Amino acid sequence: MTENNKDLKWGNVNELPFYWIEHKAITEKKETILFLHGFPDDAYAWSHQIEHFQDNYNILAPFMWGTYKPFSYKAKHYSLSFLTETYSKFIKEQEVETDCLTIVAHDLGGPLACELARYLKVKKLILINSLSLTQFIGRFKDIEQWLRSSYMFLFQNPLINKTTLSPFSSKLLNKSYDIGGLAPDDIMRKNSSNVFSGIEQYRQFLREVPKYLLKKLPPHEVSTHILWGKSDPFLTLPTNQELCEHYKRFEFHKFSGSHWVHRSHAIEINKYIEEVLSE
């Protein structure tokens, strides 16, 4: 996606090229929002939220490896453990006080957001049509979820990657966005094949499942808000029992809309996030 590059920052984190969007609040303050995008997206998927909150909050919106600019990232760089380590270093380098940090994540950004929230003990966690990895593991017996997520098995094939998908990127992306309820004129539809770089996350996350099964992690302690577009074709609606198993303190709110509800219903989503931040 082509956007104004004046807000784009870059540097090396864990000795790898790291790109992010950054805004400083107009008035000096410590409150920071970290936006984590999903697949097949990049950081500009948060443009409606960034525009809304940039005056009153410090904004950090990283690009997942390769989604902004290609580089020879290795498969291990997409593992949840390596991403958690890397993003934790990034947050520390930005001198963010974690007790003033709220993480907002969508889709595949959820597993990373939940790990960061647990590791860094952040102020608040907001998940938009997104799950923690342990929550998704808990859905292994859910036939409907497996049917909705059948593409994940296809993505385990190493021949399915950015290079092989690039010739069909426009059709594939528009098909995904159509299914996910994205408006025909949404600027996200101009995304390049770079967004397919995130496909490696699916492979690495599934490979880490046995480790998380053995860990038997307790529910998240951080105050968590789950926002859900009710018509999501990729993820089944979470039940109260499921949420109680994974989040100690949570609020669950349903919205009209589909998978990219933060794009299609940005006004409602931004209003809710604003209420959460002001608490």
Q: Return the SS3 of 92.
A: helix
CATH label of the domain that carries residue 265? 3.40.50.1820
The alpha carbon of residue 253 and the mean position of all alpha carbons in its chain are separated, in whole angstroms, by: 18
Non-local (6+) Cβ contacts of 261 within 8 A are: 128, 129, 181, 227, 228, 229, 232, 255, 269
Tell me the C-alpha distance between 78 and 202, whole Å.
9
Average pLDDT, the chain: 93
| Residue among 52, 114, 79, 18 at smallest CA distance from 210 | 79
**pLDDT at position 1:** 40
Does residue 55 lie within any of the structural domains? Answer: yes
Does residue 262 lie within any of the structural domains? Answer: yes
Task: Compute the average pLDDT of residues 27-46.
Answer: 94
Does residue 33 lie within any of the structural domains? Answer: yes
Tell me the C-alpha distance between 238 and 155, whole Å.
24
Tell me the C-alpha distance between 117 and 224, whole Å.
10
The alpha carbon of residue 51 and the mean position of all alpha carbons in its chain are separated, in whole angstroms, by: 18
Does residue 213 lie within any of the structural domains? Answer: yes
Q: For 127-164, how does the pLDDT look when each residue is reduced to its tens digit (9 = 90+)?
A: 999 999 999 988 888 999 989 988 888 898 888 988 89
Does residue 1 lie within any of the structural domains? Answer: no
Q: For 241-252, how does the pLDDT look when each residue is reduced to its tens digit (9 = 90+)?
A: 999 999 999 999
Helix pair angle (80-93, 109-120), 10° resolution: 60
Report yes or no: 177 and 260 within 8 Å, Cβ to Cβ: yes
**pLDDT at position 56:** 95
Q: For 38-82, how does the pLDDT look when each residue is reduced to its tens digit (9 = 90+)?
A: 999 999 999 999 999 999 999 999 999 999 999 999 999 999 999
Which pLDDT band holds residue 28 (cuts at 50, 70, 90)? Answer: confident
Q: For 208-235, how does the pLDDT look when each residue is reduced to its tens digit (9 = 90+)?
A: 888 887 777 889 999 999 999 999 999 9
Q: For 70-123, how does the pLDDT look when each residue is reduced to its tens digit (9 = 90+)?
A: 999 999 999 999 999 999 999 999 999 999 999 999 999 999 999 999 999 999
The phi, psi pair for 28, rounded to 5°, reads: -65, 125
Report yes or no: 113 and 78 within 8 Å, Cβ to Cβ: no
Confidence (pTM): 0.95
Report yes or no: 226 and 255 within 8 Å, Cβ to Cβ: no
**pLDDT at position 153:** 83
**pLDDT at position 5:** 64
Report how many domains make up the chain. 1
Tell me the C-alpha distance between 198 and 70, whole Å.
11
Q: Return the SS3 of 60.
A: strand
| Residue among 37, 61, 264, 66 at smallest CA distance from 165 | 66
* pLDDT of residue 2 exceeding 50: no
Does residue 211 lie within any of the structural domains? Answer: yes
The sign of the dihedral angle between the CA atoms of 119, 90, 128, 164 is negative
What domain range includes position 244?
6-278
Q: Return the SS3 of 237.
A: coil
Positions of E strands within the chain: 8-13, 16-23, 32-36, 58-62, 101-107, 124-130, 223-229, 250-255
Helices marked H in 70-108 — which ranges? Answer: 80-93
| Residue among 47, 67, 71 at smallest CA distance from 59 | 47
